[in-house]
């Protein structure tokens, strides 16, 4: 967990950038219960399978798993309950239009605390094909090889 500029990243979805082309990102607030906030502060969350949908003019995140708070009692939360996101009306209308387009989906990229408030970075993404993933891997490997060659050249000079 890193701290910079009041940001404390709790959960990262590293696979999202591998599986999707990211078109736009939005910052959304999260509506959480008290025990969910405490569990998130302890880093007990997972957004690997999470996705967002627009229903009745509101944005909801499904499959966002927050483990039950250890010290919670009967008031503990359901780990997979849908969580509401807080966005401007203009942003919600834009997401509604993009969600209706073929192939676009809303994927959470990371969960973080900004000035004490839980936030989610939400991406409008389109799924990658297998050849796109292989192309990205090849490009990354080539970039690493070039950097390695430059470092060896600098050392030998």
Measured CA to CA, the distance from residue 64 to residue 120 in angstroms comes to 11
Look at the alpha carbons of 95, 97, 100, 104 in this order and tell me if their dihedral is positive or negative. Answer: negative
The CATH number of residue 44's host domain is 2.40.280.10
**Domain span including residue 120:** 3-128
Rg (the chain; Cα; Å): 19
150 inside domain:
no
Instruction: For residue 66, count CB atoms less than 10 angstroms from its CB and return exposed for 0-12, middle for 13-18, buried for 19 or more.
Output: buried
Question: Model-level pTM?
Answer: 0.75
How big is the chain, counted in residues? 157
120 inside domain:
yes
Write the pLDDT tens digit of every residue in 30-78: 998 888 888 888 888 888 888 899 988 899 999 988 888 877 777 777 7
């Amino acid at each position: 967990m890193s701290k910079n500029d009041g940001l404390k990243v709790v959960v990262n979805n590293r696979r999202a950038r591998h599986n999707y082309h990211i078109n736009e990102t939005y910052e959304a607030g999260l509506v959480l219960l008290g025990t969910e906030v405490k569990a998130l502060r302890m880093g007990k969350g997972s957004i690997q399978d999470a996705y967002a949908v627009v229903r009745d003019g509101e944005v909801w995140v499904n499959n966002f798993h927050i483990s039950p708070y250890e010290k919670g009692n009967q008031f503990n939360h359901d780990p997979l309950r849908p969580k509401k996101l807080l966005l401007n009306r203009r942003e919600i209308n834009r997401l509604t239009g993009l969600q209706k387009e073929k192939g676009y989906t809303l994927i959470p990229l990371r969960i973080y605390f900004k000035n004490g408030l839980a936030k989610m970075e939400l991406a409008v993404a389109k799924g990658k094909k297998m050849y796109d993933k292989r192309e990205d891997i090849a490009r990354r490997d080539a970039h690493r090889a070039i950097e390695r060659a430059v470092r060896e050249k600098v050392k030998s000079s």
